[in-house]
Each structure stands twice: as C-alpha cells, then as structure tokens.
Amino acid sequence: MTKKILILSVFVVASCGLAYELIAGALSSYLLGDSVLQFSTIIGCYLFAMGVGAHLSKYVRDEHVLARFVDIELAVGLVGGLSAAILFLTFSWMGAPFRLILYVLVFMVGAMVGMEVPLVMRALNARQTEFAEIVSRVLTFDYLGALAVSLLFPLVLAPYLGLVRTGFLFGMLNIGVALWTIYVFRAELTELAGRTLRACAVLLVLVLGFASSDRLTAWGEHGLFGDQIVYATSTPYQRLVITRWKDDTRLYINGNLQFSSRDEYRYHEALVHPAMEKLPWAKRVLVLGGGDGLALREILRYSNVQHVTLVDLDPAMTAAFRQREELAALNHKSLSDPRVTVINADAAIWLQTTQEMFDAVIVDFPDPSSFALGKLYSVPFYGMLKRHVAANGLVVVQATSPFFAPHAYWTVNSTLREVGMRTYPYHVYVPSFGEWGFIMASPQADYVPPATYRLPMRFLDGRTTAAMFAFPPDMQPLAMPPNRLNTQSLVHEFEQDWRRTIR
C-alpha cells in the first residue's frame, strides 16, 4: 500500500511541476510578448534547475528521505502556488524587477521539483522494490501527470480558472501530497506535529489566495492600468480588460492598449474611409479582427454595403461588445446589425476554407508582437487574402507605427508587395498611440486618395487625407524583406523597434 501511495504522489507532483512551468511561460508571454522566446528561456531555466535539484538530492541521507520529501512538497507548494500572483503583482506595481523575479522563481521551483522524483525512487528502493520496477513505474506516472496537465492547462485551467487561481490550486495539491505522506508514513517521520502545523498553515494561505484571486488580479490590474476596471475576463486566447476614467473608455488586450474612446474615431476613420470612399460600388466587405465593432460601425454608414462578414478569433470579445450596453453604444450596435455576420474563428484557417469574394477588406489585427499574430502578417496569409478580393477591390491593413516601429511597418508593406499587391502606405496621428500606420493595397487597382467624402467626418477631409499619404523625412520608406512564415522576421523587427523606442 505504501508503495502505491508513493507512486501516486509522483503523478501529482509531476502535474504540479509542469503546471508551474506553464504558468510562468504563459504569464510572461502575456506580459512581455514573444511567446517563443519566453517559453524557450523558461523551459531551459526550469530544466537546468531540475538537474541541479536532482544533483542536490544525493546529499539527503537515507534515513531522512521521507522527511525531506515532505519539506520539499511544502516549499514547492508555497513558492509555486504563490508564483503567479507574485509575478503578476510585481509586473503591475514594480515593473523593472519582473524578469529577475521570474527566473529566480522558475529556478527555485525547478530545483525543488528536480529533487522530488529521486527522493521518491530512493524511498521505494528502501522498501525493497526492484530497481527496474522503480524506474518503470515512477517514470510512467511522471509522464502521465505531465500529459494530464498539458491537456487541462490550455483547455480548462487557463481560460476558466485563470493563471493566478491555477497557481494556488496546484500549490494546494502539493500540500495535499505532503499531508497524505505525513499521515501514511507517520510512524517513520519525526516532528509530526511541527510538519503538520506548517502544512496546514501553508494550505490556509493558498486557500485564502485561491478564494481572493479575483481581488488580487483586480488590484494588480489597477496598478497596471490606473483607471477603474469595468470589465475583465481571461479567455483561451487572451486577457481582455476594459477601463473607464470620466468619459474615456479603453480596451486592453494582454496589457496592450487597443483603443481609447476619446480619439478612436481618428484611427477608425483613417482605417475605413480612404478605401470605402473610393468604392461606391462595394457591396460585400470583410473585416478581419476588429471584434470591438468600431471599424464595422464606420463601414455600415455606407448605404451601398449590403453585407459585412467579421471574423474575430475570440467569442468573448464580440460578445462583450455586442451585449454590454456601454460597449455596444461605442460601436452603435454594429455587431447586431442584420447586414453583419460574425464568425469566431482563426482568420487564416477561415480564409483557407471559404469560397467567398469581397469588394473591400479591412484587416485590423493586434500588432505582430508574437508568432501567433505574426503569421497573420505573412506572405502565405496575404497570398490567401488576395484570392478573396475583387481585382479592383481594396485591402487596408493596420500596420503598426511608421515612426516608432519603422522596420516593422515597412516589412508589412514589402510583404503585401511580395504577393503581387500594389501598396499605398499612409499614416495618421492618434493622441493615444502617437503616429500610426496603415497600408492600402489592391490586386490591380491604382489608388488616388479621395479629395472629398460623401459622409460627414469628425477628422477626415481632403486636406488631412492628403497629409496622411505624405511621409516626412523622419518616416521615409525602408527596404525590408517580406515576412515569411518560416522565419517571421516581422516579429523580431517589431520587438527591436519598440526596444529602441523605450530606450
């Protein structure tokens, strides 16, 4: 019976160990971007630390193996369980030490996890279990635990519990293993009362943390965003936060500002109308991204538009901006318009499966800060997109800032040209963002910016439009290679551009 208990504990501790690693990788990706870099460095640090822990385990004396195993479970449960909350609050309120604390926590947890399995194997060996059986059973349950968490984390834990609450949950599981080990092997352990008391104290801390994780998250996000948070949710794809200060409503995705209601009209008028004004015959329009419905609001002002298809990955985004009254007011209830079909799907996959053709396409994706987003700015993606646009139709792409991220901006331009599109870059000043850029493109059509507009505008007129298509000396074109899916140079250019800006 005691052997089975030890084997089962391997399944639990393996699950917990991988969960802490996934939490650190996901949280750093959310907050720092570049998911490949974050996961690669965290996995490397974690595995190295496990090796250190496995080495240190040899210094534990045979008669103390079970006692040290319990002590490690208490320590890894406390540190690992609190890790997500510590990292989130550090980033929100302190900023600068985040990376240092991230890797210190990853190393600490990895070293302790690295000691667990060797200690269990030694405990089994002391109970006269054959070595071959020890290795087979321990590694089998170790890998099964890793498999269980690798499936549960993206499908259930992260989207429904959130990263902070998930951390507390797995910390409690580690403490549960410690308490169960104390109970089962009480005859072989010393200081039972002290260890039990410490385990109960740590468990109480984790339970309280689990129960108050929403408050902790809200407090951390208040430090990050400053303004009152009126809506926040974690989805399988991203963290959505909406804040309000006086008459200013703002949307943040993974901590990055997407719009401010005070000046979003500048952005969305510039995104939509220079194209739509030149297409009085356009009947079918495609919007990729733009789940807030703000670009859709501008498109629906044209009476010639008969149908708009909006493809946005996250159903939580489109649901919030359709159902919440204050958000639906911003987009004039555009997501509920009978002319609109909303499709929640990956835009790249959807383009591969649809046969529809469109007269105009508005591409309003978040900036290419990760490889998952970078693929939506790649040669293969634009090649697919081109096949769904009328020969004389127009495509407009949100393309980051030509001032703050010039290498990234002109990479988007060269990528569109690589698939045979004619491109017409332009830019606009949006106070919340600074100088921002778009690329107008067409399979065949020549483009001349409109001198007048049929509809009344808050910002655009012939003069401001002409200025948008003129680039001053400090924003002149750069010769950049296209963004290919294999290398995704755009993601690296984007990161480097913004690093230079921050410095």
List all residues 6 or more positions away from 108 whose beta carbon is below 8 Å from its beta carbon: 49, 79
Question: How far apart are alpha carbons 77 and 13 in whole angstroms?
Answer: 10
Active-site residue, from 364, 446, 461, 474: 364
Q: What is the torsional sign of CA 446, 450, 454, 456?
A: positive
What's the predicted TM-score (pTM) here? 0.74
Closest CA to 171 of 104, 99, 238, 105: 105
What does the pLDDT look like over 317-342, one tens digit per residue?
999 999 999 899 999 999 999 999 99
pLDDT of residue 181: 85
Instruction: Report the DSSP pairing between strands 340-343 and 307-311.
Output: parallel
**Residue 364 annotated as catalytic:** yes
pLDDT of residue 156: 81
Listed as ranges, residues in the chain with pLDDT below 70 are 1-6, 33-35, 92-96, 124-135, 138, 220-227, 501-503
The number of beta carbons lying within 10 Å of the beta carbon of residue 387 is: 11
pLDDT of residue 373: 87
Q: How far does Cα 212 stand from its chain's mean position?
A: 23
pLDDT of residue 107: 94
Residue 199, beta-bridge partner list: none
The number of beta carbons lying within 10 Å of the beta carbon of residue 430 is: 21
Query: Tokens standing for 131?
Result: 């070595």
pLDDT of residue 503: 55
